[in-house]
Structure 1
Amino acid sequence: MNLRRYLPILDWGSRYGRETLANDLLAAVIVTIMLIPQSLAYAMLAGLPPQVGLYASIAPLIAYAIFGTSRTLAVGPVAVVSLMTAAAVGNVATQGTPEYLGAAVTLAFLSGLFLLAIGLFRLGFLANFLSHPVISGFITASGLLIAASQLKHLLGVPAGGDTLVEIGAELAGSITGINLPTALIGVAGLAFLFWVRRGLQPLLQRFGLSPRTSSMLAKAGPVLVVAASTVAVWALDLGAAGVRTVGAIPKGLPQVTLPPLDPAAWVALAIPALLLSVVGFVESVSVAQTLAAKRRQRIDPDQELIALGASNLGSAFSGGFPVTGGFARSVVNFDAGAETPAAGAYTAVGIAVATLFLTPLIRDLPNATLAATIMVAVLSLVDLKALARTWSYSRADFAAMAVTILLTLGMGVEAGIIAGVGLSLALFLYRGSRPHVAIVGRVPGTEHFRNVLRHQVETVPGIITVRVDESLFFANARYLEDTVYDLIAKDPSIRHLVLMCSAVNEIDASALESLEAINARLKDAGVTFHLSEVKGPVMDRLQRSHFLQSLTGEVYLSQHEAIQRLKVQTLTQKPSDPGFNLGADI
């Protein structure tokens, strides 16, 4: 067994040097500063104690450094996965109880097992069946749902709900109970964070800082809000005025934890864990591939599954919740100059130091500040303009995106992602079942054949060429049969039908039976059935069947050759020949 395949650290670790170490350490410092408030915020979003977010940012990063193939992906708690965690765990336990934390640990453990199994069996391609419009719609809806769910912390009012309607109704009923100091902190923090994203970098550049340095400082904006709001709460004793804070956070590293052996909870969390694994993998791999392409590097999706599985198992065994690769922190890691996954391991050390020594400093950190941090992060994921772009390009994809958004907002994240998976598969099967089929002719003066409806082409009387632009399989085999029979029925003068297979990459057993049926019925109708431009692998499989022995016509290397030879046969064939005894009733 090639250990380097499953342990990429053996590859890049053998070339690790001082310069790489310096770059990774710098990136780790920057990401650590960014990750501390994010970890606390996403733990709150998942309905968990804030220290759990820190725990989920230590062991997973070390595990990914060992098994991951992306040089710059930063693993940890992310908004969408945290929301899905809250939705799944909330169905089996009450928030704030030990059972709730145990269920979150179980969810991370199950997610890790699913990811690990899918990676070991190299089934990462299954994630390709989730269409981009569906994923985009789900992330947009989740961003809106997360932002709405944080308004209660931003305003200091009690409100719950799993859907946009429920959250809106709860907020409307609590609007008179807004805590003014909390609202001032939350709104001010929100406004500052939005300004930081757009205005701080140009301001710093006007003071002479380089674009890279100013960008790094701008991305550390949440740390300024955390520090300022924490000092304000402590100095003005705003806790006495009703401002809710994260409170006392236990110091120390996480203890080794095992998921509770509760069969009922495991069964209830199995499907949510699988859905969470798929969404986390798609998000993580998308980010990793984008960043790798910028440096002309590559990642191995199946090994990424193993790495994410190990990361989630690490989170579970250290008392954390599900994690995946985050977009914002990965971009920061990339921009900060991280060269290897070791930067993530150094970040884990930084988080560990924070849990040992810095937790007393964030006791007075207001929940409103964490809510503002979450809202700014997730609203950047909302892309409502994608609806208009998708509508103008594909009505079917727009319908899938719109339904995913509406179901996620109206029924919750689990219903939204299940509907998204179902719609993606339904669209795939629908499109595959109705392939583009064209009658083609020769472009004058060339050997190229194009659609007769789109180009000025030459055709030969008595010969019709059908090009199918799809592999032939069980879902579209009958459609091809019906198309061929309709063409023959409409034109009794046809003596030869050529199926142009230039776009056919595979013919499965169902499609083979359909080809045999077409061959038999065309023979009864006095029409000779031919194939052209059959690809090598497809021809190899056809030669292992009896189809070629029963084929009434020939298999031609090119469509041009087919027309040249059949034109001669058609011109020399007499009206009394069998080929002219066309059956009218087919």
Structure 2
Amino acid sequence: MNTARSFNWSLLTPFMTWLPQVGRQDIKADLVAALTGAIVVLPQGVAFATIAGMPPEYGLYAGMIPAIIAALFGSSRHLVSGPTTAASVVLFSSLSLLAIPGTPEYVTLALTLTFMVGVLELALGFARMGALVNFISHSVVVGFTAGAAVLIAAKQLKHFFGVEMDSSGHLHDILISFGQHVLEINPSATLVAAATLALGIACKLWLPRVPYMIVAMLGGSLLAVGLDAVFGAEATGIATVGALPAALPPLSAPSLTFDHIRHLAPSALAVTLFALTEAVSIGRALGARGGYRIDGNQEFIGQGLSNIAGSFFSGYVATGSFNRSGVNYEAGARTPLASIFAAFMLMAIVLLVAPYASYLPKAAMAGILFLVAWGLIDRAEIKHILHSSKRETSVLAVTFFSAIFLELEFAIFAGVLLSLVLYLERTSKPKIHTIAPNPHLPNQAFSSEPGLPECPQLRFMRIDGSVFFGSAPHVEQYFDRLRAEHPEQKHVALFSNGINFVDLQGGLVLSREMQRRRADGGDMYLINVKQGLWEALEGCGCLDERGSRNIFQSKTAAVRAIYQKLDKSICATCDKRIFWECKGNK
């Protein structure tokens, strides 16, 4: 009973928070945006299915039921879910080693992987693990996307140039295979692909409001039809996609055998992490532009339910789409109804135009995908990362090269692992400063400026960072070096407001340093101690009665108390007069 009462049932009905508030003007704006979205997803669905190694119609199916479910159960007003480039590339990379792309066995594996991804996303959402995506840094996303873009272009070389070659494997395998078939290039197919690419670029540059994919595909298709009419289809050898079934998504079922689950589990985890990162990142960006916040956990649930449903309606892995979500926002969408309307419009369009897909050349699709790949590479952000941080540059490079030379799903794990290693390396060496009163600042405020006069018996320090098991050796080595190089400074006062966290081992390091200082005739004192640090020191038993008297909440009180413990014979011969208390010691 208590569990049932404590469960937040609104997680399963998030649409009830916005649906009753939808007005007539909202519906009108959403319908206009939906029409644009439906037109955009038509060529993208076919293109992304090609990338994924799926029959073309499955890319369209992935933009239907999954988009509706994600809109109803997510938290973003503008996020559009469906097939995406990155998810398609990861899917192909994961499954092409297990089955031949396009075959029934391959499709079954794709549906099974989609179901597993949905279950993982749903479980993470209910477990309130929305912050998990924060472990995938921006540099990992940029590097992975750039690597995926290179692979997309490489895998389309066979269609762009009309050659029969093996496009599976890693980048170097594809390039070697292409080099072996370079003399078999089909001029007609290459002309169609190049013309499609050029038309798409021209559209993006000079007619940005026109759906460039549709215009480019139409142009490429008309050119192919013209070449076939003039020279004959056998002479040109231009391969086409083939007719799409004019039908709604058929029912399907994943194959949840032990072997399938065992083989697909690593890929499912990788796809889940990246898909959720993609969806939540897009949702947050659009929410910031639209003046609202999204719930990461709710978005996990929405994405999970959409993929579970998609696996039973012939849809492969769906997630938030960068370009379709942007189009949806720019087209004036106000509520998630725009995504729902777009999915229903897509169904109607498929029923009407599916037979005409037989005229769509694979070379034209390759030209479009070259353009998609180029757009995926965030050149400005890559340049920014390269110039701003060596650490982030290394994360970007490792993720990128892992994507193109190793398994694509491994690239995500490699990038995340390196990010965590670099983070731990940085936190294991907190900055430790020597500080002293600066006579040039008001009230002789303390600063770390080099060359400031110091008390010959007392050193002031500041630690910025955490003192935990990972950084304890670094802090302890600093203390040891300080005692060896400055034995005359038997007293140390540590400004502690820069310490974020102390664990048991960190507390023991501070406690042992106090004991060593006392054994040498001095002591260590803590100034500006945060409540968390005080509790940590008490909790680990690092503060005895004497130690607790060495904690001060202000530097004035600390200096006044510590001054009484200094060797007055040394003070009598000291000419530095650093503290106010020194003025009276003449």
Q: Same fold (TM over 0.5)?
A: yes
Deviation at 1:89, TM superposition (A): 0.9
Q: Is the 8 A contact 2:35 2:342 kept in 1?
A: yes
Amino acid at match of 2:101: Q
Residues 446 and 244 (structure 1), Cα distance of their counterparts in 2 relative to 1, 3 Å cut = farther
- Give the conservation status (yes or no) of the 8 Å contact 2:196–2:219: no
The gaps in structure 2 that reach 5 residues or longer are: 1-6, 572-586
Q: 1:164-313 alignment to 2 at 5 Å?
A: 164-201=171-208, 215=209, 217=210, 220-234=211-225, 236=228, 239-240=233-234, 241-313=236-308
- Matched AA of 2:331: A
Alignment of 1:523-562 (within 5 A): 523-549=518-544, 552=547, 554-562=550-558
Q: Which residue does 1:580 correspond to in 2?
A: none
The AA in structure 2 aligned to 1:449 is: F
Going from structure 1 to structure 2, the CA distance change for 1:442 and 1:352 (only over 3 Å counts) comes to farther
Counterpart amino acid of residue 451 in structure 1: S
Is 2:492–2:523's contact at 8 Å kept on the other side of the alignment?
yes
Aligned pair in 2 of structure 1 residues 319, 383: CA closer, same or farther (>3 Å)? same
Q: Which stretch of structure 1 is more off in the superposition, 522-531 or 9-18?
A: 522-531
1:89-121 CA-to-partner distances (Å, cap 9, x unmatched) read: 112212222110011111111111111112221
**TM superposition shift of 1:327:** 1.0
How many residues end up aligned between the 2 structures? 558
Measured after TM superposition, the shift of residue 27 of structure 1 is 0.8
**Aligned residue in 1 for 2:465:** 470
* Structure 1: 5+ residue stretches without partners: 202-214, 576-586
**In 2, are the aligned partners of 1:72 and 1:330 still within 8 Å (CA)?**
yes
Instruction: Identify the match of residue 16 of structure 1 among 16, 22, 26.
Output: 22
Partner residue of 1:410?
Answer: 405
Matched residue, 2:67: 61
What is residue 135 of structure 2 aligned with on the other side? 129
CA contact (8 A) 1:246 1:365 kept: yes
- 2:40 is the counterpart of 1:34: yes
Q: Distance in 1 between matches of 2:283 and 2:249?
A: 28
In the TM superposition, residue 57 of structure 1 has moved relative to its aligned partner by: 0.7
1:259/1:316 contact within 8 Å kept: yes
Q: Following the alignment from structure 1 to structure 2, what is the Cα–Cα distance between the partners of residues 378 and 23?
A: 31
SS of match in other structure, 1:380: helix
Kindly indicate whether residue 107 of structure 2 is the aligned counterpart of residue 101 of structure 1. Answer: yes
Counterpart for residue 320 of structure 1 = 315
State the 1:303 CA deviation: 1.7
Residue 578 (structure 1) aligns with: none
Following superposition, the deviation at residue 262 of structure 1 comes to 2.5
* AA aligned opposite 1:299: I
Cα distance in structure 2, aligned partners of 1:353 and 1:173: 44
Contact 1:440 1:450 in 2 (8 A): yes
Q: Secondary structure at the match of 1:505?
A: strand
Q: Alpha-carbon deviations, 1:413-471, whole Å to 9, x = none? A: 13322321221121111111112221222343247433234xx7564332222222112
Distance 1:562 1:132 in 2: 44
Amino acid at match of 1:230: S
Whether the 8 Å CA contact 1:120–1:302 is kept in 2: the answer is yes
> Is contact 1:187–1:372 with CA below 8 Å preserved after alignment?
yes
Deviation at 1:77, TM superposition (A): 0.9
The 8 Å contact of residues 38 and 373 in structure 1, kept in 2 or not, is answered as no
Q: Return the alpha-carbon distance in structure 2 between the equivalents of residues 508 and 439 of structure 1.
A: 23
Structure 1 pair 537/8, CA: closer, same or farther in 2 (3 Å)?
A: farther
Question: Do the aligned residues in 1 keep the contact of 2:74 with 2:298 (CA within 8 Å)?
Answer: yes
- Change beyond 3 A, Cα 1:221–1:387: closer
Superimposed CA distance per residue, residues 383-407 of structure 1 (whole angstroms, 9 cap, x where no aligned partner): 4565554343322322222222222
- What amino acid is aligned across from residue 554 of structure 1 in structure 2? N
What is residue 204 of structure 1 aligned with on the other side?
Answer: none
Q: Could you tell me how far apart the structure 2 residues matched to 1:271 and 1:511 are? A: 36
Give 1:515 shift: 2.5
Letter in 1 for 2:119: L
- 2:435 is paired with a residue whose SS is strand
Amino acid at match of 2:83: P
In the TM superposition, residue 504 of structure 1 has moved relative to its aligned partner by 2.2
CA contact (8 A) 2:66 2:82 kept: yes
Q: Shift of residue 184 of structure 1?
A: 1.3
**Aligned residues of 1:460 and 1:567 also touching (Cα < 8 A):** no
- Whole-angstrom CA distance in 2 between matches of 1:371 and 1:551: 76
Distance 1:465 1:317 in 2: 67
Trace 1:433-448 onto structure 2 (pairs within 5 A).
Answer: 433-443=428-438, 444-446=441-443, 448=445
Larger mean Cα displacement after TM superposition, 481-490 or 498-507:
498-507
Q: What letter is aligned with 1:555? A: I
Residue identity in the other structure for 1:432? T
Once the two structures are overlaid, the 10-residue window that deviates more, 224-233 or 189-198, is 224-233
Q: State the match for 1:80 in structure 2.
A: 86
Q: CA RMSD in A?
A: 2.3
* C-alpha distance after superposition, 1:190-214 (max 9, x if no partner): 111112222224xxxxxxxxxxxxx
Task: State the Cα deviation string for residues 456-488 of structure 1 (Å, max 9, x = none).
Answer: 756433222222211222211221111122112
The separation in 2 between residues aligned to 1:6 and 1:511, in whole angstroms, is 44
Measured after TM superposition, the shift of residue 285 of structure 1 is 1.8
* Counterpart Cα distance in 1 of 2:18 and 2:514: 57
Q: What is the 5 A alignment of 1:351-390? A: 351-384=346-379, 386=381, 388-390=383-385
Three-state SS of the structure 1 residue aligned to 2:460 is strand
Q: What SS does the aligned partner of 1:467 have?
A: strand
8 Å contact kept, 1:461–1:494: yes
Retained in 2: the 8 A contact 1:519–1:551?
Answer: no
Between 1:495-504 and 1:73-82, the stretch displaced more is 495-504
Give yes or no for contact 1:81–1:323 (8 Å, CA) kept in 2: yes
Residues 526, 388 of structure 1: CA spacing in aligned structure 2 closer, same or farther, 3 A cutoff? farther
Partner of residue 158, structure 1:
164
**Cα gap change, 1:104/1:461 in structure 2, threshold over 3 Å: closer, same or farther?**
same
Q: CA deviation at 1:271?
A: 0.8
